[in-house]
């Protein structure tokens, strides 16, 4: 007994007549009668009492009708669910992100994505870049959001527009207010607040300019850098798009005229590994 036979039996039971059921199913009446007999023979039970005057389902027929409807509905809903999964309409999308990129990129993007795919749930993990990459390798997450540079050939990636590094502070340090840019050498002997991820790069570039930077504090957390800079204790060296991460701050900034410090947010995933349809759809939002 298969789903098609159950569908046939449902039509017979609901039409109360084999001829009418055959018409509704667009099949020949003898074929439908044969299918009913095959079901009865397989189950070894009488499902319908029928003669020239009377058509009546037995108790067994009533039970099979009820169960058949349940099974057919379950099959149809299962097929729909699997198609939805295949099309990325259901499931849970696991994303790992550094806190700054997560706060800047994800809220509005998830909101708009949810309107299109309301049955996709999200699991967001905030951690360092190294931790995001490890979570990708282990398969705990499917998509990572980090800042460049990314030095690995095992990842696929989409890079968003490049952001320059800026010097953000509440003090002007005698810089010309009309200038939008400064040179790296103008940071010599200034107390600097740097993200640990960029520390090595900043030190090396400063050495090329002929000075050793005065790094007052190296910090792992983006918000802590901004909050500390807002006290006036030092100058935060951060990507430009971080400046507005915390609203109502007094920070002003100048772009550092040093292309080697430019960075961008990068969306990464593992090469040659399975990606769910939900992940594929979410990645498409970064490609438009």
Residue 84 — very low, low, confident or very high, per pLDDT cuts 50/70/90? low
pTM: 0.66
Chain-centre distance for alpha carbon 212:
42
Over residues 75-101, the mean pLDDT reads 78
DSSP notation for 168-225 = EESS-TT--TT-SEE-GGGGTTSEEEEEHHHHHHHHHHHHHTT---EEEEEES-HHHH
| DSSP E strand stretches across 85-152 | 91-97, 120-126, 143-147
Query: Largest Cα–Cα distance in the chain?
Result: 107
Percent of the chain residues topping a pLDDT of 70? 96
Residue 157 — very low, low, confident or very high, per pLDDT cuts 50/70/90? very high
**Distance between CA atoms of residues 197 and 128, nearest Å:** 9
Structure-derived torsion over alpha carbons of residues 39, 43, 48, 52, reported in degrees to the nearest 10: 60
What domains lie within the chain, and their CATH numbers? 3-86 (1.10.10.10), 91-161+265-284 (3.40.190.10), 165-261 (3.40.190.10)
Task: Dump pLDDT digits (tens) for 268-282.
Answer: 999 988 888 888 889
pLDDT, greater one: 76 or 237:
237
pLDDT at 53 over 70: no
Q: What is the distance between the terminal CA atoms of the chain, rounded to a whole angstrom?
A: 49
Handedness of CA 167, 173, 175, 178 (dihedral sign): positive
Task: Dump pLDDT digits (tens) for 168-226.
Answer: 999 877 777 788 899 999 999 999 999 988 999 999 999 999 999 999 999 988 889 99
Q: Give the closest residue to 68 by CA, choosing from 47, 92, 54.
A: 47
**Distance between CA atoms of residues 152 and 171, nearest Å:** 39
Cβ atoms of residues 285 and 96 within 8 Å: no
- DSSP class of residue 100 equals H
User: Quick one: tokens of 191?
Assistant: 């107390």
Q: Give the closest residue to 192 by CA, choosing from 208, 171, 162, 210.
A: 171
Chain-centre distance for alpha carbon 93:
4
Cβ atoms of residues 175 and 182 within 8 Å: yes
């Amino acid at each position: 007994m298969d789903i098609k036979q159950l569908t046939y039996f449902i039509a017979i039971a609901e039409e109360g007549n084999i001829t009418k059921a055959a018409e509704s199913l667009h099949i020949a009446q003898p074929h439908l009668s044969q299918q009913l007999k095959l079901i009865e023979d397989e189950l070894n039970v009488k499902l319908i009492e029928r003669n020239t005057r009377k058509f009546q389902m037995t108790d067994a027929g009533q039970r099979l009708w009820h169960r058949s409807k349940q099974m057919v509905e379950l099959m149809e809903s299962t097929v729909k669910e699997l198609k939805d999964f295949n099309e990325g309409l259901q499931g849970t999308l696991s994303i790992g992100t550094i806190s700054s990129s997560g706060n800047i990129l994800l809220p509005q993007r998830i909101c708009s994505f949810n309107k299109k795919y309301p049955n996709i749930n999200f699991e967001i993990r905030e951690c360092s870049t190294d931790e995001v990459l490890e979570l990708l390798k282990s398969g705990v997450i499917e998509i990572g959001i980090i800042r460049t540079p990314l030095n690995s050939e095992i990842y696929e990636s989409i890079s968003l527009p490049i952001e320059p590094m800026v010097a953000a502070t509440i003090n002007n340090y005698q810089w010309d207010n009309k200038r939008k840019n400064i040179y790296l050498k103008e940071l010599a002997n200034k107390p600097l607040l740097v993200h640990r991820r960029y520390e090595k790069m900043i030190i090396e570039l400063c050495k090329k300019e002929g000075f050793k930077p005065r790094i007052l504090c190296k910090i792992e957390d983006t918000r802590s850098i901004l909050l500390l800079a807002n006290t006036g204790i030092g100058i935060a060296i951060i990507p430009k798009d971080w400046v507005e991460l915390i609203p109502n701050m007094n920070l002003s900034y100048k772009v550092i005229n040093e292309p080697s410090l430019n960075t961008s947010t990068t969306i990464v995933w593992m090469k040659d590994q399975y990606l769910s349809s939900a992940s594929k759809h979410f990645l498409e939002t970064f490609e438009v």
